[in-house]
Amino acid sequence: MQASKITRMFIKPTLGSGAAGVIAWRRHPDGIRQVLYCAIAIDGSRLFNSNKIHSYQDDVQIRRIISAVLQQENIVECWLPKASVNGKSYDLRVVCMDGKILWRVVRTSSQPITNLHLQNQASEFASLGLSAAKVAEIDALCLNAIQLFPDIRLAGIDVLLTRNLTPYIIEINGQGDLIYQDAQNENHIYRAQIQAIRSQYV
Ligand SMILES: Nc1ncnc2c1ncn2[C@@H]1O[C@H](COP(=O)(O)OP(=O)(O)OP(=O)(O)O)[C@@H](O)[C@H]1O
Ligand SMILES: [Mg+2]
């Protein structure tokens, strides 16, 4: 990081899910101050996965957490700064099936890891007020990406919008379809899945 003058990065276990072991780490260019965000909690000699994001600034704790996560294979990425709405940063979960977008949910957070089970807040996609052209760009990105996997019919795609609203896919989930915003209302996502199964098998 020092050699490349990179001050912030994500470390993500290759085989993780639900943000377990995911680390967002920022170092001040002074080489002294730093902050690390993750769902890992520390209890004496034990590190464990918790249900909220903690922030750490202490060098010893940060070293412990990073050393533990680096025991397995990881993906190391640039930390892309996210767009924000009402003072919180956000990204999107876009659920696609059979070449169509079924749902888009906004995941807002006051820290950089937005998974909804980590006490972050879901909000309506329409409330972002994105232009029709931007929505079409995000949809096309997702639908083009999923076409690369012709045997996969359904996916939950995590899409990050940078501060100038450039969309990037962070990851593609094999399911990623449990979205309470929809499941507790019209239930579009699971209805569409049942219809697809019916039309193929019944
Ligand atoms: N490169 C990145 N820059 C900024 N934020 C990121 C980056 N990578 C991941 N994040 C944030 O961290 C969260 C967790 O990362 P990611 O989605 O890759 O793994 P995961 O959530 O463990 O997987 P799953 O969605 O299957 O549970 C993302 O939702 C996003 O908010
Ligand atoms: Mg994810």
Distance of CA 117 from the midpoint of ligand 1 (Å): 13
Residue 94 pLDDT > 90: yes
Q: Is 158 in the pocket of ligand 1 (CB under 6 A)?
A: yes
167/140 same-domain check? yes
Cα–Cα distance measured from residue 56 to residue 53, given in angstroms and rounded to the nearest whole number: 10
Distance of CA 196 from the midpoint of ligand 1 (Å): 29
Biggest distance spanned by C-alpha atoms of the chain:
64
Tokens of 129: 């007020």
Tokens of 12: 């993500």
Range of the domain at 197: 84-201
114/149 same-domain check? yes
Tally of structural domains, the chain: 2
Compute the residue count for the chain: 202
Tens digits of residue pLDDT in 165-186: 999 999 999 989 999 999 999 9
188/103 same-domain check? yes
Decide if 81 contacts 162 (C-beta within 8 A): yes
- State which of 7, 12, 116 you would mutate to test the pocket of ligand 1, scoring each by most atoms of that ligand within 8 A of its C-beta: 12
Average pLDDT, the chain: 96
Residue 82 pLDDT > 90: yes
Tens digits of residue pLDDT in 140-160: 999 999 999 999 999 999 999
Report the pLDDT value the prediction gives residue 155, as an integer from 0 to 100.
97
In a domain, 1, yes or no: no
Last residue of a domain, one of 78, 97, 121: 78
Average pLDDT over residues 115-144: 97
In a domain, 3, yes or no: no
Average pLDDT over residues 59-70: 97
Report the pLDDT value the prediction gives residue 31, as an integer from 0 to 100.
82
65/125 same-domain check? no
Report the pLDDT value the prediction gives residue 150, as an integer from 0 to 100.
93
173/112 same-domain check? yes
In a domain, 22, yes or no: yes
90/73 same-domain check? no
Q: Is 77 in the pocket of ligand 1 (CB under 6 A)?
A: yes
In a domain, 91, yes or no: yes
In a domain, 2, yes or no: no
59/14 same-domain check? yes
Distance of CA 58 from the midpoint of ligand 1 (Å): 23
178/106 same-domain check? yes
- % of residues, the chain, pLDDT over 90: 93
Give me the CATH number covering residue 124. Answer: 3.30.470.20
Average pLDDT over residues 127-137: 98
115/36 same-domain check? no
pLDDT band at residue 35, thresholds of 50, 70 and 90? very high
Last residue of a domain, one of 31, 61, 78: 78
127/147 same-domain check? yes
Residue 131 pLDDT > 90: yes
Residue 194 pLDDT > 90: yes
Residue 30 pLDDT > 90: no
In a domain, 137, yes or no: yes
Ligand positioned closest to the Cα atom of 6: 1
115/165 same-domain check? yes
Residue 1 pLDDT > 90: no
